[in-house]
A and B are shown apart, each in its own frame.
Chain A
Amino acid sequence: MNANQTEIEQRVKRYWYTDGIAELAGGGMLLLIGLYFSGQELLPAGSTARTLLEASLALLLIGGVLVTRRLVNALKIRLTYPRTGYVDYGEGRKNTGSRRLLTGGIAAAVAALLVLAGQWVGSFEWITAFTGLVFGLVFMILRARASGLARFYVLGGFCLVLGVGLSLSGLPMGYSLGLLYGLIGLASMLSGSIVLARYLRANPVPSEQ
């Protein structure tokens, strides 16, 4: 019974990724972050444009998350729910203020540790490999294991290899990070587009609700 129960729960969780919309929108957000890092590297140091761009990171991240959420929700209302049904996973209940604060605190602590480690080693080139590792683990552990979908293992493996490859490429950190985010975003969008196209073909809108 426990096996069946786990299987049912996994199937229900997998439903969130059944249409590829979350990957498509999330990939778009990563692509924007990639363009941000590359743009930063292209602009001359100390220029007003670069200072403005550097100051807009928080805006990009917060705005990007909000826009991505709205976009995913709107697309699911239009494409997914009429075809295969609506599910509320209750993220609002879990996403409490203390939880957000804890996540922010952990992220800040990790960032501070990375800066200290970089200063200690005397180089920040490995940050790209580390970022690839984090993305790889997120795809493999949080997504693939929770949903049982094999494509997330592929995406996770791609992130790991790409992170190490770009780290060893000798590119300036801004470019390599920009390429890492951009290529992960493109891969995620590609995967999402294929899944969405298949989903729409397999699930025409029912004639009656």
Chain B
Amino acid sequence: MEELRALADLDRLIHEPARLLIVTILSAVESADFLFLQRESGLTKGNLSAHLTRLEEAGYVKIQKTFKGKLPLTICSLTKTGRKALDEYRQKMREWVERAD
């Protein structure tokens, strides 16, 4: 029962598979643009946009419109809050898997 309660404590915003993938990709870099995230995640533009908006609203992801040379880019990066949330999520999942074993 305790294991199940631990699962209920998980951050559901990150626990969603598509968002977990986005956050994990962003945790490996300083920042990445929309096109890269779309290709790496395999999500459609609309879907990725919706997930990014939710992550931005939660303060986990920062989105900036900028230019690299003449190329317009939508740059996404993980905030400190987002990184902390991902670390906590990983820790909780690890603990839960160890307990379940």
Query: Using a CB–CB distance below 8 Å, which chain A residues touch chain B?
Result: 1-2, 4-5, 8-9, 11-13, 15, 74, 77-78, 81-82, 84-90, 93, 206, 209
- B interface secondary structure, majority: helix
Residues A8 and B39 in contact, CB atoms below 8 Å apart: no
Residue B49, interface by CB 8 Å? no
Residue B99, interface by CB 8 Å? no
Residues B25 and A12 in contact, CB atoms below 8 Å apart: yes
Residues B90 and A1 in contact, CB atoms below 8 Å apart: yes
Given contacts A8-B24, A11-B40, A12-B40, contact A81 B29 (CB under 8 A): no
In the bound complex, what is the Cα–Cα distance between A77 and B68 (angstroms)? 7
Residue B7, interface by CB 8 Å? no
- 30 cross-chain CB contacts under 8 A: A1-B94, A2-B94, A8-B21, A8-B25, A8-B28, A9-B24, A9-B28, A12-B25, A12-B29, A13-B28, A15-B36, A74-B69, A77-B69, A78-B69, A81-B35, A81-B68, A84-B36, A84-B39, A85-B36, A86-B35, A86-B68, A86-B75, A87-B32, A88-B31, A88-B32, A89-B29, A90-B30, A90-B31, A93-B30, A206-B35
What's the A-B contact tally at a CB cutoff of 8 Å?
Answer: 74
Residues of A near B35 (CB, < 8 A) are 81, 84-86, 206, 209
Q: Mark B53-71, 1 if CB is under 8 A from A, else 0.
A: 0000000000000001101
Residues B71 and A81 in contact, CB atoms below 8 Å apart: yes
- A interface secondary structure, majority: helix
Residues A85 and B39 in contact, CB atoms below 8 Å apart: yes
Residues of B near A2 (CB, < 8 A) are 94
Closest 8 CB pairs of A and B: A85-B36, A90-B30, A85-B35, A86-B33, A9-B28, A77-B69, A12-B28, A88-B30
Given contacts A8-B24, A11-B40, A12-B28, contact A85 B90 (CB under 8 A): no
In the bound complex, what is the Cα–Cα distance between A87 and B33 (angstroms)? 6
Residues B33 and A85 in contact, CB atoms below 8 Å apart: yes
Residues B36 and A87 in contact, CB atoms below 8 Å apart: yes
